């Protein structure tokens, strides 16, 4: 469980990037954090893993209050996959790259080898262990990054726009993974502006100019016009039509259900 | 015809000495004005290689590219004068915002024209015009490019190409990494440049919704071959769409599903939700 209480942050001299943000994410939930560029989404992710330090407020992960002493304990619980596959490939080969996080956590060599095999298989990269990053596609690099995070066996995984630089096939691969991880009981936080990704999650947190605008069940956020008007969410056509029909006063529950189901398809 | 590809092939050699066909026997004509072309296809299908042939950054291994009357083929010496055609066909690379380097936006925009021996005064004037064309104002010219947002940086780099006054503007994944608002603003900008200045625009994209919204012509690349050249309407009716690993735009997908559900036909495909609603309001 993650509790964020009255958190504010600024990058010196600039106005606050986050203003008095509070929310709780329960264990095993998949939560999307949405908002435009500059809304503070990525800053929030960096605060939760202790890459940045909040100006005010507190962050608690599984009962541990995040501070300079506890940051390494927290990082054993929270893994993060970043946007750009090229910026996070640190190993010389796929194998090295998956091992990197585990080495930092001081796993034994034996344990590391075992886990590399297991998680490379899980992301379908077992045949690429000796490959170098330039021999991989963007989607493959992201899968390696995910294997590295999975191998650390954190309970919580944050995907910070992890699909935004991939082509549609690469994106669908990663989305399928997120669903698998959710099944395994992991807590997932996806920071995104892709509504196809958001609609699959359990809850939506919508940020606007550093403030928390909405935090509710995904279905409720996307079906409630009042909430939607406040935010700037870009709806999928099926949901746009859903609301168009509702506004026109046409009562057709069956069609509305159908359109909702359409919006859940990848 | 501004650009004409005749039986163009291009081979890369790998470090181990093996050859890889990046382009296979491409035939293609592109007009000087009025076209809005989307170039699509999977990663590695040859899209970027194709556009780099359009202003002679790359030369064909076999076949010929003719750009504004200048014939480019394998046998030509390196001494050929390519500068004029690079000015005619402006190429904006992916993530151009990483390529800004000058102290001010003004100097960055002037860099391109200055390379084509345009006088300093003229280049300044063009920079003032270009910054307006990309929807920013003159106050940006004195700012440092490094303090701008991602979307603004992209605009400044596009202004740098526009200041060269090309006929044809080629953009490699211009909306990648932008949020929906930034993406829409950029697409509106391309539409404006296309409509107002009658420039031919070619964009490489993975976003099929953009293809549906703005492209009058679509080129599909697959494993180095040009497998489709036609209207977007024809593309979305083409049964090979799946085979080419292309996904339908969300709106088209839903339109087809609703057509089936209500046994109606909605062709040409609606461009937006209002048009779609108009079609179905009487049957639902």
**pLDDT, tens digit, 9 for 90 and up, residues A190-208:** 999 888 899 999 999 999 8
**Is residue B234 domain-shared with residue B262, that is, in the same domain?**
no
Preceding amide of A61 cis, omega within 30: no
User: Residue B77: is its pLDDT beyond 80?
Assistant: no
Do the Cβ atoms of A193 and B281 come within 8 Å? no
pLDDT band at A156 (very low <50, low <70, confident <90, very high): very high
Q: How many domains does the structure of chain B reveal? A: 2
Mean pLDDT of B72-96: 82
* d(CA B50, nearest CA chain A) in Å: 18
Beta bridge mates, B220: B40, B228
Domain around B54:
3-248
Do the Cβ atoms of A193 and B149 come within 8 Å? no
Spell out which residues of chain B touch residue A170, defining contact as CB-CB under 8 Å: 43
**Is residue B220 domain-shared with residue B274, that is, in the same domain?**
no
Tokens standing for residue B224? 């180095």
**pLDDT, tens digit, 9 for 90 and up, residues A67-99:** 999 999 999 999 999 888 787 788 889 999 999
User: Residue A4: is its pLDDT beyond 90?
Assistant: yes
Spell out which residues of chain A touch residue B43, defining contact as CB-CB under 8 Å: 137-138, 167, 170
Do the Cβ atoms of A38 and B43 come within 8 Å? no
> In this predicted structure, what is the pLDDT of residue A36?
81
Which among A9, A1, A57, A59 is positioned nearest to A26, based on CA atoms? A1
pLDDT band at A244 (very low <50, low <70, confident <90, very high): very high
**Is residue B104 domain-shared with residue B135, that is, in the same domain?**
yes
| DSSP E strand stretches across chain A | 2-9, 18-25, 30-34, 56-61, 64-65, 78-81, 156-160, 187-191, 203-208, 211-217
More confident residue, B95 or B212: B212
**pLDDT, tens digit, 9 for 90 and up, residues A28-77:** 999 999 988 778 888 999 999 999 999 999 999 999 999 999 999 999 99
Of chain A, the percentage scoring pLDDT greater than 70 comes to 99
ipTM greater than 0.90:
no
> In this predicted structure, what is the pLDDT of residue A85?
77
Cα end-to-end distance, chain A, whole Å = 28
**pLDDT, tens digit, 9 for 90 and up, residues B259-279:** 999 999 999 999 999 999 999
**Is residue B121 domain-shared with residue B197, that is, in the same domain?**
yes
CB under 8 Å to A188, separation ≥6 — which residues? A29, A30, A31, A156, A157, A158, A159, A178, A181, A182, A201
User: Residue B36: is its pLDDT beyond 70?
Assistant: yes
Burial environment of residue B189 by CB neighbours within 10 A (0 to 12, 13 to 18, 19 or more): middle
**Is residue B162 domain-shared with residue B260, that is, in the same domain?**
no
**Is residue B264 domain-shared with residue B168, that is, in the same domain?**
no
Identify the closest residue of chain B to A83 by CA–CA distance.
B177
**Is residue B71 domain-shared with residue B33, that is, in the same domain?**
yes
**pLDDT, tens digit, 9 for 90 and up, residues B103-134:** 999 999 999 999 888 999 999 999 999 999 88
Q: Which of A33, A237, A261 to mutate to test the interface with B (most CBs of B within 10 A)?
A: A237
pLDDT band at A136 (very low <50, low <70, confident <90, very high): confident
Collapse the DSSP code of B274 into the 3-class scheme (helix H, G, I; strand E, B; otherwise coil) and give the result: helix
Query: How far apart are alpha carbons A118 and A112 in whole angstroms?
Result: 10
Collapse the DSSP code of B203 into the 3-class scheme (helix H, G, I; strand E, B; otherwise coil) and give the result: strand
Mean pLDDT for chain B overall: 91
Mean pLDDT of B240-256: 91
Mean pLDDT of B244-260: 92
**Is residue B264 domain-shared with residue B193, that is, in the same domain?**
no
Q: Is the entire prediction scored with pTM above 0.90?
A: no
> In this predicted structure, what is the pLDDT of residue A212?
94
- Max CA distance (Å), chain B: 67
**Is residue B182 domain-shared with residue B270, that is, in the same domain?**
no
- CATH code that applies to domain A2-231: 3.40.50.300
Q: Which helix (H) or strand (E) holds B40?
A: strand B36-40
pLDDT band at A266 (very low <50, low <70, confident <90, very high): low
Residues A171, A175, A181: CA angle, nearest 5 degrees: 145
Mean pLDDT of A213-230: 88
Q: What is the DSSP letter of B99?
A: G
Mean pLDDT of A141-149: 89
Nearest to B43 among A37, A138, A244 (CB): A138
**pLDDT, tens digit, 9 for 90 and up, residues B37-71:** 999 998 789 999 999 999 999 999 999 999 999 99
**Is residue B235 domain-shared with residue B253, that is, in the same domain?**
no
Of chain B, the percentage scoring pLDDT greater than 70 comes to 98
CB pairs under 8 A between A and B: 62
**pLDDT, tens digit, 9 for 90 and up, residues A119-134:** 998 888 899 999 988 8
**Is residue B275 domain-shared with residue B159, that is, in the same domain?**
no
Tokens standing for residue B97? 């915002």
Segment among A9-18, A140-149, B22-31 with least mean pLDDT: A9-18
Query: How far apart are alpha carbons B134 and B128 in whole angstroms?
Result: 11
Query: How far apart are alpha carbons A45 and A159 in whole angstroms?
Result: 9
**Is residue B78 domain-shared with residue B68, that is, in the same domain?**
yes
Domain limits of chain A?
2-231, 235-266
> In this predicted structure, what is the pLDDT of residue B76?
62
Nearest to B206 among A36, A168, A241 (CB): A168
Query: How far apart are alpha carbons B210 and A5 in whole angstroms?
Result: 40
pLDDT band at B78 (very low <50, low <70, confident <90, very high): low
**pLDDT, tens digit, 9 for 90 and up, residues B225-240:** 999 999 999 999 999 9
């Amino acid at each position: 469980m993650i509790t964020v209480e009255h958190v504010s942050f600024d990058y010196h001299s600039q106005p606050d990037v986050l203003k008095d943000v509070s929310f709780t994410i329960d264990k095993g939930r998949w939560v999307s954090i949405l908002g435009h560029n500059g809304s503070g989404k990525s800053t929030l992710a960096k605060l939760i893993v202790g890459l940045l330090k909040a100006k005010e407020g507190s962050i608690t992960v599984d009962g541990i209050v995040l501070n300079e002493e506890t940051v390494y304990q927290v990082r054993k619980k929270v893994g993060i996959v970043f946007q750009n596959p090229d910026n996070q490939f640190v190993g010389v080969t796929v194998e090295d790259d998956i091992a990197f996080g585990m080495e930092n956590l001081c796993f034994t060599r034996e344990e590391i080898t075992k886990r590399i095999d297991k998680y490379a298989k899980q992301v379908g990269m077992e045949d690429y262990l000796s490959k170098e990053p330039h021999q991989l596609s963007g989607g493959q690099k992201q899968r390696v990054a995910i294997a590295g995070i999975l191998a650390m066996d954190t309970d919580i995984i944050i995907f910070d726009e992890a699909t935004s630089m991939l082509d549609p096939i690469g994106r669908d691969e990663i989305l399928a993974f997120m669903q698998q991880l959710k099944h395994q009981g992991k807590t997932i936080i996806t920071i995104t502006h892709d509504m196809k990704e958001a609609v699959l999650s359990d809850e939506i947190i919508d940020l606007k100019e550093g403030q928390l605008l909405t935090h509710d069940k995904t279905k409720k956020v996307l079906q409630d016009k009042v909430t939607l008007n406040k935010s700037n969410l870009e709806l999928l056509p099926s949901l746009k039509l859903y609301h168009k029909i509702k506004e026109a006063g046409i009562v057709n529950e069956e069609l509305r259900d159908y359109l909702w189901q359409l919006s859940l398809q990848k | 015809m501004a650009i004409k590809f005749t039986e163009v092939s291009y081979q890369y050699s790998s470090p181990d000495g093996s050859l890889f066909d990046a382009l296979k026997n491409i035939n293609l004509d592109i007009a000087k004005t009025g076209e809005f072309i989307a170039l699509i296809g999977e990663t590695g299908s040859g899209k970027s290689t194709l556009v780099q042939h359009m202003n002679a950054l790359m030369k064909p291994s076999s076949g010929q590219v003719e750009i504004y009357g200048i014939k480019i083929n394998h046998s030509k010496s390196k001494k050929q004068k390519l500068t004029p055609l690079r000015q005619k066909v402006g190429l904006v690379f992916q993530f151009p915002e990483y390529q800004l380097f000058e102290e001010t936006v003004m100097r960055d925009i002037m860099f391109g024209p200055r390379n084509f021996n345009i006088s300093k005064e003229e280049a300044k004037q063009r920079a003032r015009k270009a910054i307006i064309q990309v929807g920013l104002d003159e106050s940006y010219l004195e700012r440092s490019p490094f303090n701008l947002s991602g979307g603004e940086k992209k605009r400044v780099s596009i202004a740098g190409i526009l200041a060269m006054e090309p006929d044809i503007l080629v953009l490699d994944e211009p909306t990648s990494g932008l949020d929906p608002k930034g993406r829409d603003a950029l697409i509106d900008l391309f539409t404006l440049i296309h409509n107002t200045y009658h420039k031919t625009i070619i964009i490489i994209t993975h976003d099929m919704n953009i293809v549906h919204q703005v492209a009058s012509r679509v080129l599909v690349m697959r494993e180095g071959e040009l497998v489709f050249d036609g209207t977007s309407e024809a593309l979305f009716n083409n049964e090979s769409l799946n085979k080419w690993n292309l996904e339908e735009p969300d709106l088209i997908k839903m339109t087809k599903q609703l057509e089936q559900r209500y046994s109606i036909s909605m062709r040409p495909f609606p461009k937006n939700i209002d048009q779609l609603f108009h079609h179905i309001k009487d049957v639902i």
